[in-house]
Chain A
Amino acid sequence: MGLSTSTLPFKERIAAAAKDKFAHASIAKAQDTQYTKRENARAELGNWQDWRKLGQSIRQHVIQYLPDYLEEFSDNVEKRGGNVFFAQTTDEANDFILNVIKQQQGHHVVKSKSMVTAELDLDKKLQALPDVSILETDLAEFILQEDDWDEPSHIVFPAIHKDRNQVHTIFKKLGYEGDNDPEHMARFARKYMRERFLEADVGITGCNFAIADSGIINLDTNEGNADLADSIPKAQIVVMGMERLVPSMKEAEIMDNMLARSAVGQKLTTYVTFEGQQTPGETDGPENFYVVVLDNNRSKALGTEFQEILQCIRCGACLNVCPVYRQIGGHGYGSLYPGPVGAVLSPILGGYEQFGELPFASSLCAACTETCPVLIPLHNLLIKHREVETDRLNMMHGFTDFQMKVVGKGTSSPFMFKMALRFKHFGLSPWTHQKPVTATNFFEYNNSMITKGPGMVGGWTDVRDLPVPPKHRDDFRVWFKHHKKQGGDAK
């Protein structure tokens, strides 16, 4: 799989995504459920805007001094007896990981959820090793693995596109004889995976944050699978994007709080773990601890107008508010990183040739920017991508220039931003027609659907109506509060 999750052209991906009615309904349900949980969790904490500034300041500082933090972190991993491998490319990372497994004489590899290992297409490489079994242990990833390695469609809820009946069919192939109740199926998965955990000799985990001043890593999960993966096997391989650093546990703790509230509407995830190379005298945990630090084109963002995307903490909140993600789902993007974060990040990691359409898969409504816990100006970065594509690659002209300039300038102040939204409606009016508004098509905004689009946007408006950016008075928050007050079911 790697970064690209589909070989289909953009237009065909969108067409396929549009046909998947279950995925569409489940994404809508997830967005609405998460909206309430996330906003309540943030409101309960209080001073959310100041927390965002705090989170931003930590992440910006780390990115600005990234070489120093990586040096400090790797020195401290080594001091504890661990190993660090800096990989410029996915091939370098894969070669190193496969070598470690060979050296460790690993036969049973357990993995906890890691976007970066998916970026490496590591599962496929591991499957090719003789005498090595591999098990994804996050419940969603396990479901995808057992469904012939289906692609994830969300960065926090990877199997969001599957319903209980599909999971039931998958589990029956593994010998499950019960009904389709999620509780019963989860119990079956527990037993199935526990047996394999106990024979595991290598654990591969991701890393939410790497702690520079102590050489340990920080993992956040609700299931506890990462904790089993770092307790039972003798060897642990941590695979991390190079930007996932924090100065100390103190800042990790701040980010953990913001991540849990933003990703799943919890105060903290069930398990927040700080761990590293086993200390002498301890009997479980990794006797052999390896960290792979991956660049894979992340460095292309450094020193450019896109540097801020490296602040991302992968909370998924921007996916959960995005009207375009709601329409086309994760698979429509064709990238491991979908939604607004993916539309900004994918062209940096994989190039414009492959992911050049994604910055256009946005209504520029700025809901993503408004929700991002670390204040990444996502919609502005999408506009910047369009500028780069338009100006430097000379890929399209006219409409986008016009709209970009208006929005780009307009978002510099709240008042101007509101004006810009008004103006965008005005600017788009030639392409819109009226449709009756329902709860489910609210995101199609203000009865207006773009049914014909110019340039690259036309590729997907042919198959799916493009939501017009919301009028400032009609944003999702306003609608949701109003709808809830009336006792409506937010679907």
Chain B
Amino acid sequence: MTIQNRDKFLDHLAERLGQPRHQLATHPYQQLNDLPQQTLSDKTPAELLALARKNSEALPVTFYEVAPVELPQLLTDYVTDKGGGPLLLPTTSHFADYQLTDWQKSIAADQTVNYWLPDADRATNLKAAEIANIGISFADFLLAESGTVTVSTNPGQGRALHFLPIHYLSIVPRSRIVARSTQAVAWYEKEQAAGCLDSSAIHFITGPSNSGDIEMQLVTGVHGPLDVTYVVVDD
């Protein structure tokens, strides 16, 4: 934990700028206009859902809307469709919240299921992610404007859970569909300021990994998951 060469470096910049350091307290940045907050602010929840679907499917993302009671069957069908395990799941109370504890038991009877474990070491969790055919996680938000899910890292859900599996499914409650990244960032900042969120990584994921680096032809799955599915659960 060190900072090296700072004062000389910053004094030089201040000298070039022709003003003393430590001005920010009296000159904070003031947002010039409220476009980020205003954009799509007139949309109803139903319109945001429709927009989220349209923009997600364009990525392309497979998009489902289900009632809570339909969720276990959908997940089982998804696992079968993608060729089965190994699965990688987060350690989280969300399974109980969505009444998926029975599903967890039943899927584990049929498939290899690994969990990202808070008390496992780095190599163990990364190995589970490396061999995973399917990764499933719970998103904090779905952004209607861009078809983006957002997730934050915690001891039960590491960063690599979202990137190493071949297929990735994200579950999000309908009430967590917001207009755009503005609302999600405002929430993360508020949670962090209140001490309710202590995460080293927040990811905004907009569909499958892709690249246009060879002749600008878009190909999917260069590094991250080859395909992505969002499941919006009615709450």
Which residues of A line the B interface, CB within 8 A?
26, 29-30, 33, 45-47, 50-51, 53-54, 57-58, 61-62, 64-72, 74-75, 77-78, 80-88, 92, 96, 137-140, 143, 157-160, 162-164, 167, 182-183, 185-187, 189-190, 193-194, 197-198, 214, 216, 222-225, 227-228, 230-232, 234, 242, 247-254, 256-257, 264, 266-279, 281-285, 293, 295, 299-300, 302-303
Contact = CB atoms under 8 A, between A and B. Distances in A.
Contacts of B199: 279
Given A223-B209, A224-B209, A253 B202 contact: no
A253 B185 contact: yes
- Best-buried of B17, B28, B116, B148 by chain A (most CB within 10 Å): B17
Given A47-B35, A279-B200, A283-B125, A302 B17 contact: yes
Contacts of A252: 185
Nearest to A79: B1
7 contacts: A64-B17, A77-B3, A85-B5, A190-B223, A228-B224, A277-B200, A284-B126
B105 interface: no
Interface stretch (B63-71, B74-82, B212-220): B212-220
Given A139-B211, A139-B213, A302-B17, A250 B223 contact: no
A282 B154 contact: yes
B13 A53 contact: no
A284 B1 contact: no
A242 B224 CA distance: 30
Interface in B3-46: 3-6, 8-14, 16-18, 21-24, 27-29, 31-33, 35-36, 39
Interface of B: 1-6, 8-14, 16-18, 21-24, 27-29, 31-33, 35-36, 39, 55, 116, 118, 120-122, 125-126, 130, 143, 145-148, 153-155, 158-160, 162-164, 180-182, 185-186, 188-189, 192, 198-217, 219, 221-224
Contact of A275 (B29, B185, B201, B223): B201
Most buried by B among A143, A250, A267: A267
Given A249-B188, A282-B200, A285-B201, A137 B223 contact: yes
Contact of A143 (B39, B162, B213): B213
A284 B143 CA distance: 26
Contacts of B35: 47, 50-51, 54
Given A87-B5, A267-B206, A281-B155, A68 B224 contact: no
A252 B224 CA distance: 23
A32 to B, nearest CB: 10
A74 B29 contact: no
Contact of A303 (B18, B39, B125, B148): B18
B22 to A, nearest CB: 6
Contacts of A228: 160, 163-164, 223-224
B146 A267 contact: yes
A254 B35 CA distance: 10
A320 to B, nearest CB: 11
A188 to B, nearest CB: 11
The residue in B126, B189, B211 that gathers the most chain A C-beta atoms within 10 A of its C-beta is: B211
A247 B36 contact: no
Nearest to A250: B185
A266 B13 CA distance: 35
B216 A157 contact: yes
B221 A271 contact: no
A460 to B, nearest CB: 27
B39 A45 contact: yes
Question: 10 closest Cβ contacts across the A-B interface?
Answer: A224-B224, A302-B16, A267-B146, A182-B214, A86-B9, A272-B204, A140-B213, A68-B24, A231-B159, A281-B155
A66 B118 CA distance: 39
Contacts, number: 285
Contacts of B122: 234, 283-284
B182 A253 contact: yes
A248 B189 contact: yes
A294 to B, nearest CB: 10
Nearest to A92: B5
A250 B203 contact: no
Nearest to B38: A47
Contacts of A159: 213-214
Contacts of B130: 198
B216 A33 contact: yes
B204 A66 contact: no
Contacts of B155: 281-283
Contacts of B159: 227, 230-231, 275, 284-285
Contacts of B3: 74-75, 77-78, 83-86
Contacts of B160: 228, 231-232, 284
Contact of A163 (B185, B215, B222): B215
Given A139-B211, A222-B211, A231-B160, A278 B200 contact: yes
Given A46-B39, A65-B24, A278-B200, A85 B4 contact: yes
Contacts of B10: 67, 70-71, 86
Contact of A251 (B5, B29, B154): B29
A66 B13 contact: yes
Contacts of B121: 283
B212 to A, nearest CB: 7
A273 B214 contact: no
B192 A214 contact: yes
Nearest to B215: A164
B200 A275 contact: yes
A319 to B, nearest CB: 14
Contacts of B221: 186-187, 190
B198 A275 contact: no
A270 B204 CA distance: 8
A30 B138 CA distance: 37
A231 B211 contact: no
Nearest to A224: B224
Contacts of B118: 281, 283
Given A281-B155, A283-B155, A285-B159, 15 more contacts: A54-B35, A67-B14, A78-B2, A86-B9, A164-B215, A222-B211, A224-B224, A268-B181, A271-B224, A272-B204, A273-B204, A282-B154, A282-B155, A283-B122, A284-B122
